Amino acid sequence: MAQGDEARGPEPATVGRRGRSTAAERMLTFHARLRERGLKSTGPRDDIARVFFELSRHVSAEELYAEVKKINPHVGYATIYRTLKLLKECNLLFERHFEEGQARYEVAGEHHHDHFICERCGRIIEFENSEIERIQDSIAKHLGVLLTHHKMELYGLCAECRVKPPAP
Ligand SMILES: [Zn+2]
Ligand SMILES: [Zn+2]
């Protein structure tokens, strides 16, 4: 996909609630889970986790790196990756692989949700639909299978891109 990062920008239209926990509460959880694992919190690790929780959207490792650099210029890329991996192991992060290619990371919320991804501007819109969930359950029943999880990704043009001519 030929979308540049400059065309991506923040996700102003991301809808859906991220759960009630604040970034500060998530930091406390992070520290508790680190202690359970016999790990200490470090400055760089904390900076990365805090920025990640505060951004609270679907960031790539590069985007997170750029944001963390603003508050801690000494953090290296490898530390970003290690911390993302750690946050995932602590069940505080979901890793998403949308069709655009690069992995995106979002704060693990209390609610299951699905995604719409705009193929032009890269905007990611979260949605929940009880009917979709119900239909999936009935398909599973029909197939006689046990579902563990699912990924529902819708692709197309967002409302804004639909009315805008494509960038030259
Ligand atoms: Zn769009
Ligand atoms: Zn999401």
Angle at which helix 77-89 crosses helix 43-55, to 10 degrees, equals: 70
Q: What is the pLDDT of residue 71?
A: 95
Q: What total number of domains does the chain contain? A: 2
Inter-residue contact 111 to 20 (CB < 8 Å): no
Q: What is the pLDDT of residue 20?
A: 56
33 and 58 assigned to the same domain: yes
How far, in Å, is the centroid of ligand 1 from the Cα of 13? 10
Last residue of a domain, one of 109, 141, 158: 109
23 and 96 assigned to the same domain: yes
Calculate the average pLDDT of the chain.
87
How far, in Å, is the centroid of ligand 2 from the Cα of 106? 6
For the cut 60, the answer to whether the pLDDT of residue 86 exceeds it is yes
Q: Give the range of the structural domain holding residue 166, as residue numbers without chain letter.
A: 112-168
Q: What is the pLDDT of residue 4?
A: 38
How far, in Å, is the centroid of ligand 1 from the Cα of 64? 21
The string of DSSP codes covering 81-147 is HHHHHHHHHTT-EEEE--TTSS-EEEE--SS--EEEEETTT--EEEE--HHHHHHHHHHHHHHT---
pLDDT digits (tens, 9 = 90+) for 117-145: 999 999 999 999 999 999 999 999 999 99
122 and 95 assigned to the same domain: no
Q: Which ligand is nearest to the CA of 59?
A: 2
94 and 30 assigned to the same domain: yes
pLDDT digits (tens, 9 = 90+) for 8-27: 444 443 444 444 578 999 99
Q: What is the pLDDT of residue 168?
A: 73
27 and 105 assigned to the same domain: yes
Residue among 129, 121, 128, 131 at smallest CA distance from 155:
121
For the cut 90, the answer to whether the pLDDT of residue 46 exceeds it is yes
Q: What is the pLDDT of residue 112?
A: 84
Give the rounded percent of residues in the chain with a pLDDT score beyond 70.
88
How far, in Å, is the centroid of ligand 1 from the Cα of 168? 15
